[in-house]
Amino acid sequence: MAEKWEFTKETPRRIAVYGKAGIGKSITSGHLSAALSQMGETVIQVGCDPKRDSVALLCHEIKPTILEQFKMVDAETEEPVEMSEELLDKVIFKGFNDVICCEAGGPRPGIGCAGRGVLVAIQLLEDFNVLERFGITFAIYDVLGDVVCGGFAQPMRAGNAREIYLVTCGEPLTLYITNEIIRAVRRTNGEGIEVGVAGLIDNQRLMPHETEIVEAYAERVGVPIIDHVPRSVKVQEAEASGMTVIEAFPDSDQAQVYRRLAKKVLENKYVYLPDPMSGMDEILQLAREFIAK
């Protein structure tokens, strides 16, 4: 039976969004940020991914990163420039509805450790009191799908975010990665760090029996589903314009879906320590139980 406890809602509230690469973490995070800002929260979204595309829809473009600023070199002396509040603020931007946006960034492909970059960037935000200075009430850390590296696990390990949301769907490979992230949460919690999974966000892919498969998985591991997010062409249409659905189509059904999701996250007060399934074989068996019907 999964352990459950009520957490103290501190200000700023800090959550981390994890999930398989390509499942829609950044889309989900961006829409949560947009909706929460309309609910009166002062939101920061921190992109923890070398692709630096987390805040693109909020800012309408790809933005320079914290790591790029951190690695600046003086043109005359060729010595590293010491990081300062002024320099850091140059890579912190205001996006849709004044959401504060920044990207951790990473090394050039094939060079360096991306996880280390995330760790350094998050620490700089703490060292320069960014959340306090901007009056943040709700912080969202949008984290790269692979949490094998300690850098990507930094938001949960360092206490930056004790409330984890897992974006998933009914595809077995996605559920497998979800399961592995649950293992990472349990391992981190076992080290004495108070972190738990608040719930699953089912970002649907229109596969057969998807709702039933995700619900069955959630019941097996002992964690609630926060919401089922239906696939909608409005998301792609808004993305083509460089915007969230909430900005591009504020009166659409899909915008209401994301507002409903944000309300559920805002009102949530519990986290869980789920029991992961044994592995891929068990997950495949669960999926077959529904697909064979």
Closest CA to 182 of 220, 210, 211, 216: 220
Name which of 223, 239, 240 is nearest 18 in CA terms: 223
Q: Which of 51, 234, 263, 264 is catalytic?
A: 51
The strand ranges marked E within 74-137 are 93-94, 100-103
Cβ neighbours of 258 (radius 10 Å): 25
CA 293 to the chain's CA centroid: 34
Tokens 């991914």 — which residue? 49
Residue 74 a catalytic site member: no
Asked about 293 being catalytic, the answer comes back as: no
Task: Please give the C-alpha separations between residue 25 and each of 82, 170, 202, 282, in angstroms, as whole numbers.
Answer: 33, 15, 11, 25
Per the annotation, the verdict on 264 as an active-site residue is no
Cα–Cα dist 117/98, whole Å: 26
Residue pair 277/283 in contact by the 8 Å Cβ criterion = yes
C-alpha 213/C-alpha 204 separation (Å) is: 11
Choosing from 146, 234, 263, 264, which is the catalytic residue?
Answer: 146
Please indicate whether residue 263 is annotated as part of the active site: no
Nearest-Å Rg of the Cα atoms of the chain is 19
Collapsing DSSP to helix, strand or coil, 146 comes out as coil
| Catalytic residue positions, numbered | 20, 25, 51, 146
